Structure 1
């Protein structure tokens, strides 16, 4: 397939679009950095995550910081008409941090969702995830296992999607490109299927529970649904756009490609908002973290309201009084039975 090699596909096709995207990333950085710093402070100094079995949540915070590191550089390149850094070492480093962040966020969020699934749907059975949460070494192992899946994304041409028909490829180059794309799509599609399955099973379990037990499970439902929302907003759109972009490039449709490239890059910028949405998951996962955060950073007049507010997530008990009437000779005795 003939390809126009004179086109620099790493230059922005429309300066105005990328100027806007750069300012969107500035907003994400300005909001995300203090938010994640405050979350990190709570986890370490107030909540002491190592004592409260919140090691996986802490790792999600660390993953979000990896994203914060690269945003200023992305802003700089977009404002200078480049889709990626022209410096090879910097380009590879940014790709590595971006996809290590994405892989770690997905891995630990999926683990939390599976933990909720076993606690609700298979209550009483041995929950291996709960055992893993108590072991810091498991978190280190997850990070190590992510490294070989992240390395293929460090190739220079990834950001510009310069593969499969863009230029003459050696067999090794073609294998690297293919493996890279498989990893990219698999790390989104497979976890999303798992999340949807866990959500459906937990919701079905909730429907079969009595009124008194539903309040205990409502938090589990919202945790899994919140993770699904994060996936649906941050990761799925850019994944679909990349599939379309690859298809357009294989067909060598340059005009259509310029449009799809802008859509893809816009949705990638949207995916960076996961560093803003992840703290919502922390609150849903752990009411202790929510209380510690509110008591530390919220004013006094808001603390009373927010700490008392249950938001439909609490574990309040419902008291039901049932009266049993017994005939004892000529007397009738009423015995109340209290159910919680």
Structure 2
């Protein structure tokens, strides 16, 4: 690995080494905190889906939500390795096999998390905006077929990212041996990265706007259900905007810095910012269970009765924050 530096004292970004050791140690500490907090939360939800809800027998979104939690759990196991590399002053593992395996796991499970967030929002959109209309998603959600299809679709999209220079943010960087094939591969990687975020974000905006409009036009009927749907999709929008949009913007700035051949010191600062915002995106693993699982009063009651029974009073769940009503404990394995 080259150890050359430029006149400003910054290492060349191609070295894949952290130029600010203190800052990268802070990134590592953040990832460790995320791992410590999110792992037991996701594991408890996963346990509930498998042993209490028996998600494979459910008629609701349980299959989607199970896959969402599964993707987050698998992603979490990458964080200690990533934190270890950052503590050592490495932006990625020096071991080629570990590096590619990490990239595969990070992008596959991150993409799956985004995909199942989006699919669940689409399902809620159809239930609220078009409650009587038949749709393919409603027919398939009762079986694991659509979930298997999503995982299989993500596999080939993950392959272009399994290269070390992607992890070190070197797409379209000027190289003496640049070829047309390299430019095509670089562009393909970036298309995959941006499409995994931009397309779901557009879908989420569309679903949110139409569900909110539906609530405004609703004058009679169950407005509480609609309010909960609005709370759900709005929360997803906030989480998505917080976790994924910043790193997308940072990636765009970094690509502009590459193509425009900014000074190496500025390119390095852009890469450091991108790494930090990628760490922020992992907070999604901590927020997903809170947004999707606990927005359901039935699931919340089931979760409390299994893991925090001391919060229950006389067989009743504590008042629901969204409605102010006291709800009985869940009787069915349905979210």
Deviation of 1:143 (Å): 0.4
Contact 1:283 1:290 in 2 (8 A): yes
Q: Which one has the bigger strand percentage? A: 1
* TM, length-normalised to structure 2: 0.88
- Bigger shift: residues 259-268 or 270-279: 259-268
Corresponding residue for 2:198?
189
Aligned pairs for 1:96-135 within 5 A:
96-135=104-143
Corresponding residue for 2:23?
17
Aligned partner of 1:264 among 252, 271, 274: 274
Contact 1:56 1:139 in 2 (8 A): yes
Corresponding residue for 1:208?
217
With over 3 angstroms needed to count, the CA separation of the structure-2 counterparts of 1:143 and 1:315, relative to structure 1, is farther
> What is the rounded CA distance, in whole Å, between the counterparts of 1:49 and 1:281 in structure 2?
18
**1:22-56 deviation line (CA, Å, top 9, x unaligned):** 11111011111111111111111122212223101
Deviation of 1:314 (Å): 8.1
Contact 1:63 1:105 in 2 (8 A): yes
> What is the rounded CA distance, in whole Å, between the counterparts of 1:77 and 1:231 in structure 2?
26
> What is the rounded CA distance, in whole Å, between the counterparts of 1:315 and 1:146 in structure 2?
41
With over 3 angstroms needed to count, the CA separation of the structure-2 counterparts of 1:91 and 1:166, relative to structure 1, is farther
Corresponding residue for 2:233?
224
Deviation of 1:228 (Å): 0.9
> What is the rounded CA distance, in whole Å, between the counterparts of 2:320 and 2:132 in structure 1?
27
Aligned pairs for 1:244-263 within 5 A:
244-252=253-261, 253-263=263-273
Corresponding residue for 2:297?
287
Corresponding residue for 1:331?
none
- Structure 2 spans left out of the alignment, 5+ residues: 327-335
Corresponding residue for 1:39?
45
Residue 153 (structure 2) pairs with residue 145 (structure 1): yes
The runs of 4+ residues in structure 1 deviating greater than 4 Å are 313-316
**1:182-214 deviation line (CA, Å, top 9, x unaligned):** 111111011101101110110011011125431
Deviation of 1:172 (Å): 2.0
Corresponding residue for 1:81?
89
Alignment RMSD, CA only? Answer: 2.1
With over 3 angstroms needed to count, the CA separation of the structure-2 counterparts of 1:313 and 1:223, relative to structure 1, is farther
The structure with the larger Rg is: 1
Q: Secondary structure in 2 aligned to 1:151?
A: helix
* TM, length-normalised to structure 1: 0.87
**1:306-325 deviation line (CA, Å, top 9, x unaligned):** 82312225899xxxxxxxxx
Q: Secondary structure in 2 aligned to 1:175?
A: helix
- Structure 1 spans left out of the alignment, 5+ residues: 317-340
Corresponding residue for 1:240?
249
**1:105-153 deviation line (CA, Å, top 9, x unaligned):** 1111111111111111112111322212101122111101110111111
Contact 1:47 1:289 in 2 (8 A): no
Corresponding residue for 1:296?
306
- Bigger shift: residues 225-234 or 90-99: 225-234
Deviation of 1:225 (Å): 1.1
With over 3 angstroms needed to count, the CA separation of the structure-2 counterparts of 1:315 and 1:181, relative to structure 1, is farther
> What is the rounded CA distance, in whole Å, between the counterparts of 1:156 and 1:166 in structure 2?
16
Provide the aligned length of Structure 1 versus Structure 2. 313
Aligned partner of 2:163 among 142, 152, 155: 155
- Bigger shift: residues 196-205 or 303-312: 303-312
Contact 1:47 1:292 in 2 (8 A): no
